[in-house]
């Protein structure tokens, strides 16, 4: 043994090995710099490491078998020992080793000097942030490797169920579904995904489904180094799919518990049904509900109903059903009254089965928003928030609650929170842009719309949002083409046609009004947006007898609906039935959760001012003054703290009108016009302004709005085809 060591030393094998290791270390430092500088993938660095490891063995063998001589490199056995110069070669290697070590030491000292001081505040904040990010995971959509491509809904659904289970683990941050699913079919590597989603671990896998058998492969990967914390393959019958979900989720928690979550991580809860068949139909329903179209919601409702026929106690399916009915009324032609009744039954059933189902509370927020019960919506939003503060749908739906009460700053906070939780989600991005518009931040909204359309050219929603932007800016001639684009791209949806009815009224173009009203009726004569458009047209035309009949028929299926009662009160006022009108306005206030002696909310101001106007004519000054005082205080608060919304400015004009203050009326109306108010017909039809119909100043102001409408109408007609041509081209 000692002879071998002596021979290794004589042949400089040890020296070659040491020199190789030091040189390899320096080469790896250079590789790290070049990989980052040239934007090379992390695999480039790994490839260099592999080559250096493989190269070590040939280097040592070469040192043993060959020798440097004055005549060149020869096999060691061919060199005369008396002529060997290995001792000289060894000295050269010694100098080489010393030089390389000096370079390595210099680099090491430089790196230490230039590294950030870990004692600084900035470094402390970075360390704290890294610790927070470590307790995080993104669940990527599992890859469907089944023979049937249609099984993709199942692999997507399984991924989402695992995400929902992990979201219930206390202390674990889970990236939202829509952001994680952005990387479906993406070639981005784990490091890039982790950086974009701001997570430290990623769960990925595959699903192969065949008959009643399923093979699920899952692996948990650290983002920073690509290390697999855990991986497993499950072969199961589909009847045991919930068991597999729990096994995977529990294994992930166990893999993360000690380094990240601590010993007190909460257990994972199982699925809400024991029936795979019901679960499978539920996944199909959820899949189609994300299409946001009439056909999509019709399919979703059918699948949810199928799931409930199998398992009538499956709470999430009831929640999906409640949402489906409401969205089918919004995007399709299901009558609003029927949709609300069906949704109420389904949402209440979901909560009776599972009071802590966050989806059910979010369904109630959506439902109560549509019913105008904003205090009730707040209760369910707060409950949803307590169950899951990161559930994006509850934030977006409560944003609508806040915006309906002119609490635009708070509504924008909701979308900003949702965007922080789910930054890559298209629905969240659209909601945020829409809220920027109603918050009158038009420049930011425009950039957002243009960016979104560039990324999603076939999505009709940004055209709707762009139409909303022009509407808020008071440019109906520009809004109509945008709504028309969305109308064409979204078959079955009535809302765009109804929007264009209103914008055509603002252009004072009866032919265009009739065209778009016909379009709305062709897609659903009983749809809520068709009914609303018809109400607006009858109101704008001053056809109060037909308006009253129309509204009364709608109230038969939607008793107590405050918006309809408001129309009814207005029609009755013009028909000379002030007492009955007062009753209608009172009922409308009660339908919006108002009680005498209770402070008004912003959404109640319009009807309260209509009632105050009736009371003023009847000489009931006590109740009138109470309503006016409350409205005045609230309007002033909103005026000072929120964006200059045209709706609030119109209400300020109404307040001044009931008080008999014509200069105040004209000032508020002028400010409203400057902020996009174009409803010139409202000045003639609103009973609050009736007292000024003979005023020269009021007539002149209204005439100015009519002339402005004529100018915008001419601009529209120059840039757009006739209604008949529009219809032919669709």
Q: Residue 229 is inside which H or E element, if any?
A: strand 228-237
Burial of 598 (0-12, 13-18, 19+ CB in 10 A): exposed
Pair 78, 27: CB distance under 8 Å:
no
Q: Which residue has the higher pLDDT, 721 or 301?
A: 301
Domain boundary among 85, 114, 143: 114
Q: Nearest 5 degrees, angle CA 42-CA 48-CA 50?
A: 105
Band (241; pLDDT cuts 50, 70, 90)? low
At 551, the pLDDT band (50, 70, 90 cuts) reads: very high
pLDDT band at 208 (very low <50, low <70, confident <90, very high): confident
What average pLDDT is seen over the chain?
83
Tens digit of each residue's pLDDT (9 = 90 or more) over 12-64: 666 666 766 767 766 766 666 565 555 555 566 666 666 767 776 776 666 55
- Structure confidence at residue 570 (pLDDT): 96
Do residue 358 and residue 246 come from a single domain? no
| Closest-CA residue to 284 (of 474, 479, 150) | 150
Max Cα–Cα distance, the chain, nearest Å: 131
> pLDDT band for position 680 (50/70/90)?
very high
CA atoms of 632 and 638, how far apart (whole Å): 10
- The reply to whether 57 and 157 lie within a common domain is no
CA distance 137 to 199: 5
Structure confidence by residue, pLDDT tens digits, 617-673: 998 999 999 999 999 999 999 999 999 899 999 999 999 999 999 999 999 999 999
| pLDDT at residue 186 in the model | 79
For the chain, the distance separating the N- and C-terminal CA atoms, rounded to the nearest angstrom, is 93
Please state, for a pLDDT cut of 70, what percent of the chain lies above it: 76
Q: What percent of the chain has pLDDT over 90?
A: 52
Same domain, 31 and 146: no
* Predicted local confidence at residue 210, as pLDDT: 76
Q: What is the mean pLDDT of residues 396-410?
A: 94
Task: Say whether both 144 and 34 belong to one domain.
Answer: no
Same domain, 246 and 311: no
Q: How far apart are CA 9 and CA 513, in angstroms?
A: 99
Tracing tokens 């922080």 back to the chain, one arrives at 420
Q: Which of 232, 261, 290 is a domain's end point?
A: 261
Q: What angle do helix axes 461-473 and 426-438 make, rounded to 10 degrees?
A: 10
How far apart (Å, rounded) are the C-alpha atoms in residues 147 and 293? 29
Query: What is the pLDDT at residue 127?
Result: 33
Mean pLDDT of 79-83: 56
> Is 380 domain-assigned?
no
Lowest mean pLDDT among 199-208, 296-305, 346-355: 199-208
143-144 vs 201-210, strand pairing mode:
parallel
Note whether 657 and 581 are same-domain residues: yes
The CATH number of whichever domain residue 600 belongs to comes to 1.25.40
- Residue 612 in this model has a pLDDT that exceeds 90: yes
Residues in contact with 134: Cβ distance below 8 Å, sequence separation at least 6, in sequence order: 200, 259, 260
Tell me the per-residue pLDDT of 479-508, one tens digit each, with 9 for 90 and over. Answer: 999 999 999 999 999 999 999 999 999 999
pLDDT at 395 over 50: yes
The winner for highest mean pLDDT among 120-134, 218-232, 459-473, 594-608 is: 459-473
Residues 249 and 317 in one domain: no
Q: Are residues 168 and 85 in the same domain?
A: no
Record the pTM: 0.71
The pLDDT value recorded for residue 225 is: 78
92 φ, ψ (degrees, to nearest 5):
-65, -40
Q: Which two tokens stand for residue 34?
A: 């070049």
What pLDDT was estimated at residue 265? 41
pLDDT at 153: 78
pLDDT digits (tens, 9 = 90+) for 252-267: 666 655 444 444 444 3
Structure confidence at residue 125 (pLDDT): 33
Task: Determine the structural domain holding residue 98 and report its residue range.
Answer: 2-114
Asked if 170 and 68 sit in the same domain, the reply is no
Average pLDDT over residues 224-235: 79
User: What is the pLDDT averaged over residues 266-278?
Assistant: 64
How far apart CA 560 and CA 540 sit, in angstroms, is 23
In a domain, 652, yes or no: yes
- 247 and 301 assigned to the same domain: no
**583 occurs within a structural domain:** yes
Transcribe 232-258 into DSSP letters.
EEEEEEGGGHHHHHHHHHHHHHHHHII
Which of the residue ranges 6-10, 148-152, 635-639, 702-706 would you say has the lowest mean pLDDT? 6-10
Residue 65 lies in a domain: yes
State how many domains the chain has: 4
Give the CATH number, domain containing residue 285: 1.25.40.10
Which bin fits 141, alpha (ψ -120 to 50), beta or left (φ > 0)? beta
Could you tell me if residue 219 is inside a domain?
yes
Say if residue 68 is in the same domain as residue 145.
Answer: no
Main-chain phi, psi angles of 261, to 5 degrees: -100, -20
Q: Is 467 within the bounds of a domain?
A: no
368 band by pLDDT with thresholds 50, 70 and 90? very high
Better-predicted residue by pLDDT, 424 or 730 = 424
Return all residues near 505 (Cβ < 8 A) that are at least 6 apart. 513, 536, 537, 540, 679, 681
Q: For residue 524, what is the DSSP state?
A: -
Q: Considering 339, 362, 385, which residue would you say is the last residue of a domain? A: 362
The per-residue pLDDT for 290 is 85
Within a domain: 34? yes
Element (H, E) at 667: helix 662-674
Q: What per-residue confidence (pLDDT) applies to 25?
A: 65
Give yes or no for residue 547 having a pLDDT over 50. Answer: yes
67 pLDDT more than 80:
no
Q: Find out whether 522 and 730 touch, Cβ atoms under 8 Å.
A: no
Evaluate whether residue 156 is within a structural domain.
Answer: yes
pLDDT, tens digit, for every residue of 509-542?
999 999 999 999 999 999 999 999 999 999 999 9
Where is average pLDDT lowest: 5-9, 149-153, 185-189, 359-363?
5-9
What integer pLDDT is reported at residue 36 of this predicted model? 54
pLDDT score at 227: 79
Same domain for 251 and 283, yes or no, is: no
From the list 231, 204, 182, the residue with the least C-alpha distance to 137 is 204
């Amino acid at each position: 043994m000692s002879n071998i060591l002596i021979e290794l030393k004589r042949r400089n094998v040890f020296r070659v090995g040491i020199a190789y290791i030091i040189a390899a270390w320096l080469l790896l430092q250079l590789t790290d710099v070049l990989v980052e500088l040239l934007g090379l993938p992390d695999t480039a660095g790994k490839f260099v490491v592999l080559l250096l490891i493989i190269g070590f063995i040939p280097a040592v063998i070469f040192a043993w078998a060959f020798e440097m001589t004055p005549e060149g490199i020869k096999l060691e056995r061919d060199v005369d020992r008396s002529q060997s110069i290995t001792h000289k070669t060894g000295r050269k290697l010694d100098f080489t080793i010393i030089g390389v070590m000096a370079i390595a030491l210099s680099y090491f000292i430089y790196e230490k000097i230039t590294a950030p001081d870990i004692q600084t505040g900035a470094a402390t904040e970075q360390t704290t942030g890294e610790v927070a990010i470590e307790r995080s995971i993104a669940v990527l959509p599992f890859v469907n490797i089944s023979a049937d491509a249609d099984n993709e809904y199942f692999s997507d659904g399984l991924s989402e169920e695992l995400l929902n289970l992990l979201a219930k683990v206390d202390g674990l941050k889970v990236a939202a579904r829509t952001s994680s699913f952005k990387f479906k079919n993406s070639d981005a590597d784990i490091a890039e995904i982790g950086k974009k989603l701001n997570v430290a671990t990623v769960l990925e896998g595959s699903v192969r489904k065949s008959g009643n058998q399923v093979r699920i492969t899952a692996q948990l990967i650290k983002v920073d180094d690509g290390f697999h914390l855990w991986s497993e393959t499950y072969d199961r019958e589909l009847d045991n799919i919930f068991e597999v979900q729990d096994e995977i989720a529990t294994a992930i928690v166990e893999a993360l518990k000690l380094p990240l979550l601590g010993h007190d991580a909460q257990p994972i809860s199982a699925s809400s049904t024991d029936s795979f068949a019901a679960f499978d139909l539920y996944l199909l329903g959820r899949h189609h509900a994300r299409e946001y179209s009439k056909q999509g919601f019709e399919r979703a409702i059918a699948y949810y109903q199928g799931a409930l026929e199998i398992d009538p106690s499956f709470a999430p399916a009831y929640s999906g059903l409640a949402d489906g009915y409401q969205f089918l009324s919004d995007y399709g032609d299901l009558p609003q009254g029927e949709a609300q009744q069906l949704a109420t039954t389904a949402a209440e059933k979901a909560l009776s089965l599972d009071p802590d189902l966050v989806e059910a509370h979010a369904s109630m927020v959506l439902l109560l928003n549509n019913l105008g019960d904003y205090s009730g919506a707040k209760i369910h939003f707060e409950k949803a928030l307590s169950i899951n503060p990161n559930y994006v749908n509850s934030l977006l739906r409560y944003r609508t609650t806040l915006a309906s009460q002119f609490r635009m700053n708070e509504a924008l906070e909701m979308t900003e929170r949702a965007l922080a939780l789910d930054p890559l989600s298209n629905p969240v991005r659209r909601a945020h842009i829409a809220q920027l518009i109603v918050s009158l931040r038009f420049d930011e909204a425009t950039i957002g719309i243009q960016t979104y359309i560039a990324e999603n050219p076939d999505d009709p929603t940004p055209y709707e949002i762009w139409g909303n932007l022009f509407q808020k800016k008071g440019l109906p001639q520009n809004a109509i083409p945008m709504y028309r684009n969305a109308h064409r791209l979204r078959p079955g949806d009535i809302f765009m046609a109804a929007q264009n009815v209103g914008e055509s009224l603002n252009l004072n173009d009866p032919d265009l009004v009739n065209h778009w009203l016909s379009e709305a009726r062709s897609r659903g004569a009983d749809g809520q947006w068709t009914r609303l458009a018809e109400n607006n047209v009858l109101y704008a035309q001053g056809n109060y007898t037909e308006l009253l009949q129309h509204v009364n028929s709608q109230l038969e299926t939607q008793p107590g609906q405050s918006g309809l009662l408001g129309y009814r009160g207005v029609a009755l006022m013009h028909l000379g039935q002030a007492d009955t009108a007062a009753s209608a306005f009172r009922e409308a206030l009660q339908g919006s959760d108002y009680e005498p002696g209770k402070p008004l909310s912003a959404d109640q101001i319009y009807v309260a001012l209509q009632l105050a106007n009736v009371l003023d004519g009847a000489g009931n000054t006590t109740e009138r003054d109470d309503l006016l005082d409350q409205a005045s205080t609230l309007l002033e608060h909103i005026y000072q703290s929120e964006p200059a919304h045209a709706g609030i400015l119109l209400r300020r004009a109404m307040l001044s009108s009931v008080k008999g203050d014509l200069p105040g009326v004209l000032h508020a109306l002028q400010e409203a016009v400057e902020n996009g108010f174009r409803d010139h017909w409202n000045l003639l039809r609103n009973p609050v302004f009736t007292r000024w119909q003979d005023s020269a100043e009021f007539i002149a102001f209204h005439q100015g709005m009519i002339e402005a409408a004529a100018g915008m109408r001419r601009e529209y007609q120059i840039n757009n085809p006739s209604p008949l041509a529009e219809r032919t081209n669709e």
